[in-house]
């Protein structure tokens, strides 16, 4: 097929199965790779739809100016559409956006106004206020207003949702993605729920944004700063229909950035900061989903626009997201253990307590992670065994799930030793470490002492 122009190439992005980066999850996870849109992000769909509808309504006329407030990707999409259709484009963004993303908007011929991040939404300096002012004062201007335009979710109801449905032969069970304006998840989610009401739509929200607290508690908290780009907000967008969502998961900057790097290095998919956030959302939401569940995660943008940040070791270290050169990481601590941990000692939930006692004695371990279908579902410590032997020794034929405690936390191999120590300070007895090839290792306080002493 030969398209009349590049706008015809928007959509029909591929679904790709994730493998190494989701090792240990029982469910099947596939990524919807929106980087394959011509502007490199899911926002191309929204931009094309909003402009086309504005033309139909006569609110955008030939020779007019498109104005928008955006974290960057919508700016790229609108700049691309404006270049093809001959409009002037003015993009208002924040000073936390990557230089790569700002330069990309300019590459398409758009003008960029950079506004401070750390101001209230109604502050005249905010990127919302500046965009509205420019649109009001510029003859022939059209304010795209992606945060409140219903053409935003309509774009995904018409394209993203049907593509996911057709691409999975209607077998999709869960869709997970970042929440920004909400257009992608709410539009695609509404379509999919009409086809299959049991489909779960799960949003991912950075710590510091409003959406998690509003969804779970209907509490409008004061927004705080975070470095993830493209998702999270300090306002409630009119394009976001919370009734479509089944859950909202919170993620942190650091875990998201490390996850994006793992996605690139383990499955060859170069995503941006929101891609890492979405992947953390998958790890958190899907950890107990059974085999046979089909999960689609939206990878919203191309990662080249984050090369100067999350893929830059110096930037990561400067912002304390990556261990300094010479610092001890979780993987280093595993490697310094005196015994071979290539095969982590684990048990299923239905294993007998007596078997656990025997394994602890033979393997000289103080605790055993309990794993079901590749998921860590609990932890068995020597304290619980001692208590049982003292008070109810006749229960040795009972399954370990009757006395196990909650699963211990997991960290990435790159996590610094200080992060491991924080879990111990907060009362955890051990930490699991995600190693290459889907392997895991376990660290206790003794392992931390031993590993640090061997520096």
| Sheet hosting strand 88-94, strand order edge to edge | 111-115, 88-94, 65-69, 141-143
Claim to verify: residue 22 and residue 162 sit in the same structural domain: yes
Whether 170 and 286 map to the same domain: the answer is yes
Nearest C-alpha neighbor of 192 from the set 147, 128, 114, 244: 244
Q: Note whether residue 323 is domain-resident.
A: no
> What total of structural domains would you count in the chain?
3
The pLDDT of residue 270 is 97
Place of tokens 């379509």: 191
d(CA 371, CA 376): 4
The answer to whether residue 419 is domain-embedded is: yes
Residue among 210, 175, 166 nearest 29 (CA): 175
User: Among all chains, which residue has been given the structure tokens 């790709």?
Assistant: 16
Please tell me whether residues 201 and 114 are part of one structural domain: no
Structure tokens belonging to residue 374: 């590749």
Stretches where the chain sits below pLDDT 50 are 342
Residue 1 is assigned to a structural domain of this protein? no
- Same structural domain, 75 and 165: no
Per DSSP, 411 falls in state: E
Mark whether 428 and 447 lie in a shared domain: yes
CATH number of the domain at 377, please.
Answer: 3.10.580.10
As annotated, the active-site residues are: 43
CATH of the domain at 225: 3.40.50.1100
Are residues 24 and 82 located together in one domain of the fold? no
Inter-CA distances, 157 with 15, 124, 250, Å: 17, 34, 25
Same domain, 191 and 293: yes
**Are 405 and 344 members of one domain?**
yes
- Over the stretch 429-443, which tens digit does the pLDDT of each residue have? 888 888 766 678 888
Q: Specify whether 172 is located in the same domain as 249.
A: yes
Domain boundary among 117, 143, 169: 143
Together in a domain, 413 and 283: no
Q: Tokens 């306002």, residue?
A: 235
Residues 264 and 350 grouped into a single domain: no
Q: Which domain holds residue 380?
A: 330-453
Please enumerate in sequence order all residues whose Cβ is within 8 A of that of 58, keeping only pairs 6 or more positions apart, or say none.
none
Residue 168 belongs to a domain: yes
- CB–CB of 162/220 below 8 Å? no
β-pairing verdict for 15-17 and 28-33? antiparallel
How many angstroms from the chain centroid is the CA of residue 16?
16
Task: Looking at the structure, tell me whether residues 177 and 274 fall in a common domain.
Answer: yes
Half-sphere exposure at residue 356, Cβ-oriented, CA atoms within 13 angstroms: 33
pLDDT at 342: 44
């Amino acid at each position: 097929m030969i398209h009349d122009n590049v706008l015809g190439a928007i959509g029909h992005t591929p679904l790709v199965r994730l493998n190494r980066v989701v090792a240990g999850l029982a469910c099947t996870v596939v990524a919807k790779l929106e980087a394959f849109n011509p502007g490199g992000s899911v926002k191309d769909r929204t931009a094309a739809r909003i402009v086309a509808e504005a033309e139909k309504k006569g609110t955008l006329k030939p020779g007019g100016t498109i104005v928008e407030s955006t974290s960057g990707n919508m700016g790229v999409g609108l700049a691309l559409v404006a270049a093809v259709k001959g409009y002037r484009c003015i993009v208002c963004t924040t000073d936390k956006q990557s230089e790569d993303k700002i330069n990309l908007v300019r590459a398409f011929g758009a003008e960029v106004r950079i506004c401070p991040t750390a101001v209230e939404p109604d502050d005249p300096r905010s990127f919302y206020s500046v965009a509205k002012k420019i649109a009001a004062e510029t003859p022939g201007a059209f304010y795209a207003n992606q945060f409140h335009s219903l053409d935003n979710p309509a774009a995904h109801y018409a394209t993203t949702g049907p593509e996911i449905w057709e691409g999975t032969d209607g077998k999709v069970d869960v869709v997970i993605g970042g929440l920004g304006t909400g257009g992608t998840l709410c539009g695609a989610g509404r379509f999919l729920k009409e086809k299959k009401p049991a489909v779960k739509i799960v949003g991912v929200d950075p710590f510091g944004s409003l959406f998690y607290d509003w969804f779970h508690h209907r509490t409008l908290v004061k927004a705080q700063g975070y470095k993830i780009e493209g998702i999270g907000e300090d306002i409630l967008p009119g394009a976001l229909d919370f009734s479509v969502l089944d859950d909202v998961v919170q993620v942190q900057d650091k875990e998201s950035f490390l996850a994006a790097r793992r996605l690139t290095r383990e499955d060859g998919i170069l995503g941006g900061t929101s891609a890492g956030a979405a992947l953390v959302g998958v790890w958190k939401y899907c950890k107990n989903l059974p085999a046979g569940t089909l999960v689609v995660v939206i990878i919203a943008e191309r990662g080249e626009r984050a090369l100067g940040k999350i893929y830059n070791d110096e930037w990561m270290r400067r912002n304390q997201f990556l261990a300094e050169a010479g610092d001890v990481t979780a993987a280093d601590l595993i490697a310094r253990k005196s015994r071979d941990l290539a095969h982590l000692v684990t048990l299923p939930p239905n294993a007998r307590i007596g078997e656990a006692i025997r394994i602890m004695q033979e393997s000289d371990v103080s605790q055993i992670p309990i794993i079901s279908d590749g998921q860590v579902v609990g932890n068995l410590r020597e304290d619980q065994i001692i208590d049982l032997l003292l008070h109810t020794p006749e229960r040795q034929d009972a399954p370990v799930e009757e006395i196990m405690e909650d699963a211990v936390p997991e960290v990435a191999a790159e996590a610094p030793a200080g992060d491991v120590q924080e879990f111990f300070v907060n009362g955890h007895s051990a930490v699991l470490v995600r190693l290459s090839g889907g392997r895991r290792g376990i660290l206790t306080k003794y392992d931390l002492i031993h590993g640090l002493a061997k520096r």
